[in-house]
Amino acid sequence: MNLDIIARLVQILRESPELGAIEVRRGLFGAWSAVRVSRAGHPVPGGEQVVVTRSAPPSLPATSASPAEPARPTPLLEIKSPMVGTFYGAPEPGAEPYVKVGSRVGPGQMVCIIEAMKIMNEIESEVAGVIREVLVENSQPVEFGQTLFRVDPHG
């Protein structure tokens, strides 16, 4: 799990006195697969709980699903932007992209660059599989936590 995501979850817990606990579950290849949130004063097993699958950003757990109907996990894993910046899918204009639909990726493989404050940050995959969707265009601005790619771990 990305340390920035852990830091953001801790920040949410500190800033939200109504929350009692945030539990993160690990899925395939060490990537997070779900976040469980309980309200303060309610024990996790019997308390009011919300489950957020990886298709929802971890900064919005209380509004992503209702306790009566937990969110359904998606079979595709997501590679998300770890920062705000500009997305570049290739090392330079006109060059082949790092990955495209159908490309096989593995943990630690570079998938794109995000430029932030004139610094080119190489973004690596945290999951293994086949790229099924590229969700951003070259030179497009991206936000923290925005999904960039969807990966089929069974492909």
pLDDT, one tens digit per residue, over 39-81 is 665 544 443 334 443 334 444 444 444 445 555 555 899 999 9
pLDDT at 59: 46
End-to-end CA distance of the chain: 22
Question: Which pairing describes strands 141-142 and 129-134: parallel, antiparallel, or unpaired?
Answer: unpaired
Structure tokens at 138: 């070259």
CA 43 vs CA 5, 38, 49: distances in Å? 24, 7, 10
pLDDT at 71: 53
Please state, as a whole number, how many other Cβ atoms lie within 10 Å of the Cβ of residue 17: 8
Query: DSSP letter at 144?
Result: T
pLDDT at 34: 61
Q: Which residue spans within 1-124 are E strands per DSSP?
A: 19-26, 32-39, 49-53, 77-80, 85-88, 104-105, 110-116, 119-124
Q: Which CATH class is domain 77-152?
A: mainly beta
Structure tokens at 14: 């500190």
pLDDT at 127: 92
- Residues of the chain below pLDDT 50: 43-67
CA 98 vs CA 38, 89, 120, 131, 138: distances in Å? 40, 6, 14, 11, 12
Token pair 């969707």 in the structure block, residue: 133
pLDDT at 61: 46
Domain ranges of the chain: 3-64, 77-152
In angstroms, what is the C-alpha Rg of the chain?
17
pLDDT at 32: 54
